[in-house]
Amino acid sequence: MVAIIVAFLALQALNYSKPWPQKFDAPKAKWTELKTLSGYNYETNSYLIITDQRIRHNKVTEIAILAESVQRALVLFPLQLIYEGRPGNKKKHVVRIFEKKSEYIKSGAPKGTIGYFDGRSKEVKVSLEHLIATRNKVSNLQPRQRYQLLVHELIHQAMGDQFHALPTWLTEGIAEYFSALQYAPGRYRFSNCSKQIIEHLNVTWLNGEQPTVVIPSIQILTIMSAHTWAKDTRINEDNAYAKYAGALFLTHYQMELASRKLGGLRKFLENSAVNIHEHKTKSVRFIPADQAMLWKDKSFNKIESQICEYWKKRGLDLHFTGKIQTIEPINK
């Protein structure tokens, strides 16, 4: 037990010494194809991609590169973004791609989605039409390009136990952060990222109209559980993305501080990982890390003002509200 803890602390010191990443371009990923009774399996080094129809060679290559890039991009950061527990024989991550929307829904997919991470089976499930079309008129979560939602769900999957341990807004914010900063399959840019985030929001949510952006307050976002988050998505379908955008802005704020070794994100993530470790090894009750350390005694009003001022200089008229509401264009 002592050896495990020492190794764990050594890993934290190693992570802290790493520089903040500027970019990541994933190498080509090898894959194999196997025909099955129900479709095709595509296997990469870390992933098993199960489909009910054959996928074109070039698209499998793109998906393979993208999938293999996700965990490597996460571990670039000097932050405890993932927690995998003890080393050992690791099973491949499973991604299921459904040709028919009916089969996707039958798999347990939430209504109105085209992709999701199933926390119980630990599988990513996505509709094939999303990987073919650049836009999908049915979903309110339309990606900038066909792989952004897939990146989002793969980030959830790769985060392992951190996905369940962190507050919902932060897991969603981290997933959106990487989704926004990937500009091509497996290629990320982490420096001067505000332009990429605005472009991501314009296509995902704002439709290029540059409206006044209204998002839930920090107070609302930070208390939302996974259950209330999912419930809001169902009942507030027309503007479900508002809270994802809010999570992205808050995560960007925390990442910018962490890149300058300021704020409390690094310590918060480490505390969360320690709590997971204690829970897994000693069977003690899991206690979430205290979110207060993220804000360093700043009031939410002060932080909201800072975030609004930052994005106003970059062309976004951002407003926090105590209610989740539909955004309205400036000229409307």
Whether residue 65 is predicted with pLDDT greater than 70 in this model: the reply is yes
For the chain, give every domain's residue range.
22-321
Per-residue model confidence (pLDDT) at position 140: 46
Q: Is the pLDDT at 163 greater than 70, yes or no?
A: yes
Q: Are 211 and 329 in contact (CB under 8 A)?
A: yes
**Residue 112 pLDDT > 80:** no
* One-character DSSP codes across 281-294: HH-PPP-PPPTHHH
Instruction: Give the pLDDT confidence score for residue 101 in this predicted structure.
Output: 84
Is the pLDDT at 280 greater than 50? The verdict is yes
As a whole number of angstroms, the distance between CA 81 and CA 73 comes to 10
Helices 241-259 + 194-201 axis angle, to 10: 180
The rounded distance, in Å, linking the Cα atoms of 323 and 78 is: 35
- The distance between the two most distant Cα atoms of the chain, rounded to a whole number of Å, is 63
Taking the C-alpha atoms of residue 226 and residue 220, their distance in angstroms, rounded to an integer, is 13
Q: How far apart are CA 294 and CA 269, in angstroms?
A: 10
Residues above pLDDT 70, as percent of the chain: 85
SS (H, E, C) 140-163: CCCCCCCCHHHHHHHHHHHCEHHH
**pLDDT attached to residue 210:** 64
How far apart are alpha carbons 241 and 239 in whole angstroms? 5
Q: CB within 8 A of 36, min separation 6: which ones?
A: none
Coil, strand or helix: which one is 247?
helix
**Model confidence band, residue 297 (pLDDT cutoffs 50, 70, 90):** confident
Rg (CA), the chain: 20
- Strands (DSSP E) contained in the chain are 23-25, 32-35, 40-43, 47-51, 93-98, 115-118, 123-127, 182-184, 187-189, 213-216, 318-321
Q: How far apart are CA 107 and CA 51, in angstroms?
A: 13
The residue behind tokens 């925390």 is 254
Residue 132 has pLDDT above 70, yes or no: no
Q: State the average pLDDT over residues 310-328.
A: 78
Instruction: Place 83 in a pLDDT band, splitting at 50, 70 and 90.
Output: confident
Average pLDDT in the 138-164 region? 78
For 213-229, what is each residue's pLDDT tens digit? Answer: 999 999 999 999 999 99
As given in the structure block, the two tokens for residue 202 are 């314009």
How far apart, in whole angstroms, are the C-alpha atoms of residue 171 and residue 154?
12
